[in-house]
Chains A and B, each alone.
Chain A
Amino acid sequence: MTKFKTLFLMQLKEKMDLSFLKSKKQTMFKIVFSIVGFALITAFAYLVLWLCQLLNIFSAINHIPLSVMAVVLFVMTLLNFFTCTVGLSKALFYSKDNMMLITLPTPADSLFLSKMLVYYINEIKKTFTFLIPVFLAYGILSGIGVIYFIWMPIWMVVFAAVPVLLGGLFAIPTNYILRFLQAHPMIKVGVLILLLVGVVWGAMYLIGLIPEDINLIESWTVVSQWMSEFLSGFTTNMFPFYALTLFFCGKYVDKTSILFTEYSWQVALVLIGVIGGLILLNFLISRPLYYRIISRQFEFNKKEIKRPKFNHARRPFWATCVYEMRRLLRDSSVLSGCLTMLIVTPIAVMFLNAVYAAINTRMLGDYFTMAFNVFVILLFVLAGNIYMSSIFSRDGEALYLNKTKPSSPFKILFPRLFLSVVTTFITVLLSTIIFTTSSGQTILNSICIFFMLLSVALTHVVWSAEFDFMNPQSTRFATEGSGATSPNETKSTILTFAMSAICFGLVLFFMLLGGGSVWLKLALVSVAFLCYRVWVFYYKTKILFKEK
């Protein structure tokens, strides 16, 4: 047990940045910051639910039905299941620290369990950042009694184990599939192309389904009926989730909520039983295979190279760009991220505009449409570039190579943003064309919009790279491999949301203010800001390069 505890704490400390505990001030900051963040998410969820209630979107009786929360729970559980499966297949089988952990004199059970437990702790953290705030907001809105606010989080924490345990089970076949695809690159490419074609076709099909004229007010009865049918269908077909939600939130009877029903204890027992069963299954299935699979992580198939390759001479700047692109494109997570950004963003914009085009909006609506387009494009593009916040750290121990290169720091570091710049350029160009064509913008406005979006996206790229430069996490990547998470990525994610939201606000603000050349002003401000951030990056790299 002591060994297990040591093993668990060792990994937990490595995963979670607990350095703030050393300083009282930082601890206080962290606590207050977490509370404020939690309160903000809860407030936002409350606002959304309150709006839905106000507009009677889900129910005619000015109330959010429980089935809506069941849908939220289902969707989140599904997403968590996918992320856990992928995440655990990396954390359990591909983590670089396995090389060291495998040699420790601990039983296989301890190692496996400690990894699962660390992941579970991480999952609980995630639950507190979305699911619990949303359910809290629901509780406040529905006026459920005080006990709910203790009862619900406790059971949510317990429930968070389900996707983790399921993920642990499914991580094995996922791992085998990934290995198979890795061993057969042609099949991998084929699957990827099929997936992409499927996504594009599906998106086009959905866009084609959008009617030419959507009149929300006139068709509201139909929509409302469809929604009601969907919710009741969901309640029947996905009864376990509905029962769980009922268990968490209680029953809404005569405008009051009753937390404990006759089914509560049954659901509790079933939930505990399911978790117990899953633990057992994990133990019986995953654990025995665990050592066998992780030992394969260090095996490589040596290929016979039949034809020797040629040497090419390039200029230093281009050489860095080219080799950086090669390196990144050989990293499946980066490659899939780039492809997702390149394909999903234009499709999402097309979809969004197809819906908007069908809705007859007033001027305010038009403003919102444009602002929302900007928001969506930026959100996708910026999210696709979050990996830039670990661009240098991904070198792991090879980070030192940057310092020995005979070139100025800026020339060494800046070309490493090349892939991101290229993909961002293409994505923004495609998205802008779709957006401006759909909204009937003039050519000058279209150019301004393009430059505005591009500047904001590139600002994010440079800024994220700067996070990594200032606070490199190479040791973490050296220990955990490409699956490691960096605190800089969290910062970059926050920046993604903040920048998208600020741009949304600014576009709307300037539109509402009126006056001409709104896009030109925004483009100028964005370009100026980009220049500033590039200068800051240049300045910091020039001065701090030797020490970082």
Chain B
Amino acid sequence: MSYLIALSVLVLLVGLYFIFRKFITKHETVFAKIFSLSLAGLLFVWYFASTKNELQGVVGLNGGEFSSGFIVVITSISIWFFFISNVAVSMYPYFNKDILKNYCRWFAPIGALLAFICLPNIIYAYTGGNEYNLCSIVLEINVAVLLAYSVYIFIKSGCFKATKREVIEFFCALPIILIVAIPPFLPRALFGDAISGNVKGFSLNHRLYLYLAFIFLIGLYLILRKKDRSYCRMALLFISLVTLISYCYDYDFSRFITPTRWPLHLCNTAMFIVPICLLFRWEKLFYFTFFINVLGAFFAMLMPNSNDADLFTYASVVRFWINHICALAMPVLIVLLRVYDRPKLRQFIYSMVGFLVYFVFVLIMNAWFTNFDSGVDFFFINSDFIAEKLGKWAEDLREITATLYVGGLPMVFYPVYQLLFFLVYVLLGLVMWFLYTWLFGAQDVYDELSARNKKIKLDAAALCVKYGKHRVGECVMKDSVNKLVINNVYKSYGSNKFYSVEDVSMTVNSGEIFGFLGPNGAGKSTIIKCIVGIQPASKGCIEINGYDIARQPVEAKSQFGFVPDHYALYEKLTGREYINYIADLYNVDHKDREERLNKLLDDLSMRNSIDNQIRTYSHGMKQKIAIMSALIHNPKLWILDEPLTGLDPTSIYQVKECMKEHAKKGNIVFFSSHIIDIVEKLCDRIMIIKKGKIKAEVTLKELKDRGETLEQFYLKIINSKDEQNSAVEKDNSADEVIEDKWFTKKPKTKRRGAK
């Protein structure tokens, strides 16, 4: 008989499809939504119309009213798969996701077919074999509709046509879906009480469930964190719906019309609120569960109110854990996966107002319904369940009562105790806010880290693509060997949109002493910091002797020695220790080290002080130590940031000689300075930077040929008005400024003062 109704519906649907095929194809979306809503409605009706579940009585395949263990297994599995299929197909028209489509076309037909085959047994399980009641008939229709619609999706979506990635994704998601959708009676029906021992007091069983809760939370987060928002919403909605079905395994319509049995405990409400919020985006309601339920669920999991007789696989125990794991994990996951925004103060206030409404509601419900059912204890504020656990003081507080009479019915309240209860929850809500803030902070850090890590990998891959495969440490930019090459470098600080340095490019060749000039705050030090790797450039690339500082930092850093604009060194070390340390870092062998250090000690007159602690040195001595440490590995590129400031004439002479000698050996000396005279005498070429932009690049020989001093040239450039005027100046005296490309204005970028 059960097959007859189901078959009739199936034939009817197939027939209607062939008759109205064109119309259905034309309005496919509308029909899809009608079918999905019908499936959800049908499931709702028969599920809550059923008053019992025979599978609850089955223990380890042996008990219950079923004829054999095999029937129990096949019935249980068919119910399990049927729920998954029904939920998946119900969601299908609302989410355009491949994984959902694949579940609808590959899994749902199997689930529906299995349910169809086992229909008599399912009906038996839910109605005790009564094939003519409302529950049975609707169930039969549900199975038929699901079968018809899932087969339609299967054919429509190209049967088994899929990419390898889709197949892998399908099978990877399967175990998770099966676990989250497990019906509460299933473990006991299949495995009996094999895992004995109750589930409280941190017993092994209790701990297993606790571990499961955190594995669920962390596992789902890790799986879904890289998916987009709508994917996460779909996945979480699916989970919340299948777990809701599991949670309501012993619910029927009578529960909804009996207010004293309403699921008004906080964690119970979460089972309904979460899918509702995911479906309808009720923001205010969601943050209520986010702030209030999670902590409650956590405490409930730590101290489950189960009996000693409640064992690991009992349906009530499984349901308890499904409920609390969801109440704990789902709100957190929803925000962590950014389905809902992170709460602000406004949302916190909403949630507290929501909680106040809820609290007052359950207060009244408790007080009112206690007259009809003494066991009524929503949110545990009517009985002494919590007070007993807290101790005598709480029980004493609960002794203070106030009674109101409404229509002759006494309504008993515990004002002090209940007010304290409320305030404690508000405080806990605040605590949760703190915890969430930390959690989100940690999430931000890891998100940023993973994004950057991805960028590093992409950079490495890009380098590989550009220059082919190369060994680590191998010089790949052959064009920039023996050179310092800076290409279109931009630098902004933090998340600031303004550039401190903008579109800087230059090439310095070996054997050159290159002067870098500019007023204070022009961006000289910023450029130098980018070159030496103290700060990364926001855009552009810097190549040092064939190595990119951003992509091959270790190799690039081995190529230069750096003297900063301040004399900050490790002051607790002696000069010798410090230089030896630097030499060690650059792998300078003992012989070279002795030789170079001795020469530098003589050149810079530091032999008598080298074994004193650096903190006892004067400014000039510290500067000399910085110079010695920069030269100890004989770098290809020597960078000095304002090296002569504060030095006495002798020291200046010594440093200048060092620079000349280093350049003579075919190395590059790159230095910034404000002392124009020295730059003029020392440098081969100079570059002037102003407000983060290169204004001029000229050789000293060219200046000499023009009969112009560097000072005159510098002042002319610095005092000239910005871009527009400079462009005119460029037109008038093209020979004065060598590189006219520096005047090109970038329309979208703005600049702020150098940091």
Contacts and interface: CB of A to CB of B under 8 A. Distances in A.
B490 to A, nearest CB: 15
B557 interface: yes
A395 to B, nearest CB: 7
Contact of A313 (B453, B550, B562, B588): B588
B485 interface: no
Given A406-B557, A539-B449, A546-B535, A313 B583 contact: yes
A318 B587 CA distance: 12
Contacts of B562: 404
A70 to B, nearest CB: 29
Interface stretch (B61-69, B315-323, B571-579): B571-579
A398 B577 contact: no
Interface in A303-342: 303, 305, 308-309, 311-316, 318-320, 323, 326-327, 330-331
A303 B578 CA distance: 18
Contact of A547 (B536, B555, B572, B580): B536
Contacts of B364: none
A397 B590 CA distance: 29
Contacts of A309: 574, 576, 611
Given A305-B611, A397-B568, A544-B452, A403 B616 contact: no
Given A308-B611, A319-B584, A546 B577 contact: no
B590 A36 contact: no
B374 interface: no
A29 interface: yes
B569 interface: yes
A22 interface: no
Interface in B255-273: none
Nearest to A405: B585
Contacts of A395: 568, 570
A309 B597 CA distance: 12
A437 B431 CA distance: 43
Interface in B591-617: 593-594, 597, 607-613, 615-616
A209 interface: no
B577 A326 contact: yes
A303 B449 CA distance: 49
Size band of the interface chain A makes with B:
35 or more
Nearest to B586: A406
B589 interface: yes
A303 B411 CA distance: 89
B501 to A, nearest CB: 16
A311 B615 contact: no
B557 A405 contact: yes
Given A36-B431, A327-B573, A408-B554, A398 B568 contact: yes
A320 B437 CA distance: 37
B192 interface: no
B532 interface: yes
Contacts of A318: 584
A402 B566 CA distance: 15
A404 B581 CA distance: 13
Max chain B C-beta neighbours (<10 A), residue from A314, A539, A543, A547: A543
A401 B625 CA distance: 13
Nearest to B449: A543
A331 B613 CA distance: 13
Contacts of B202: 509, 513
Nearest to B581: A323
Given A314-B584, A407-B585, A546 B536 contact: yes
Interface in A497-548: 509, 513, 539-540, 542-544, 546-547
Contacts of A292: none
A396 B568 CA distance: 8
A362 interface: no
A403 B585 CA distance: 12
A313 B611 CA distance: 17
B530 to A, nearest CB: 10
B434 interface: yes
Contacts of B588: 313
B168 interface: no
A518 to B, nearest CB: 14
B693 to A, nearest CB: 24
Contacts of A542: 453, 456
B345 interface: yes
Interface string A25-62: 10011001100100000000000000000000000000
A20 interface: no
Contacts of A407: 554, 557, 585
B533 interface: yes
A400 B564 contact: yes
A406 B453 contact: no
A543 to B, nearest CB: 5
Contact of A404 (B437, B532, B597): B532
Nearest to B533: A403
Contacts of B445: 540
A31 B583 CA distance: 50
B585 A319 contact: yes
Secondary structure type dominating chain A contacts: helix
B579 to A, nearest CB: 8
A302 interface: yes
A403 B554 CA distance: 10
B577 A544 contact: no
A93 B662 CA distance: 44
Contacts of B570: 323, 327, 395, 398, 401
A540 B576 contact: no
Contact of A543 (B430, B456, B580, B597): B456
A398 B431 CA distance: 40
B51 interface: no
A543 B594 contact: no
Contacts of A404: 532-534, 557, 562
A300 interface: yes
Contacts of A397: 566, 568
B722 to A, nearest CB: 30
B29 to A, nearest CB: 44
A302 B584 CA distance: 27
Interface string A274-306: 000000000000000000000000001111010
Contacts of B610: 305, 308
B487 interface: no
Contacts of B452: 543-544
Nearest to A509: B202
Given A401-B570, A403-B533, A543 B453 contact: yes
B569 A398 contact: yes
A25 B569 contact: no
A400 B534 contact: yes
B208 to A, nearest CB: 13
A313 B576 contact: no
B580 to A, nearest CB: 5
Contact of B612 (A303, A314, A331): A303
B558 interface: yes
A482 to B, nearest CB: 9
A320 B611 contact: no
A396 B567 CA distance: 11
Contacts of B616: 300-302
B534 A406 contact: no
27 contacts: A300-B615, A300-B616, A303-B612, A305-B612, A308-B610, A309-B574, A311-B583, A313-B584, A313-B589, A313-B593, A315-B584, A316-B584, A319-B580, A327-B570, A327-B572, A395-B570, A397-B566, A403-B533, A404-B557, A405-B557, A539-B449, A543-B452, A543-B456, A544-B449, A544-B452, A546-B533, A546-B553
Given A305-B608, A331-B572, A406-B585, 14 more contacts: A25-B344, A28-B345, A32-B434, A300-B616, A301-B616, A313-B580, A323-B577, A323-B581, A396-B568, A397-B566, A406-B558, A543-B452, A543-B456, A547-B535
Interface of B: 202, 344-345, 430-431, 434, 437, 445, 449, 452-453, 456, 532-536, 550, 553-555, 557-558, 562, 564, 566, 568-574, 576-578, 580-581, 583-590, 593-594, 597, 607-613, 615-616
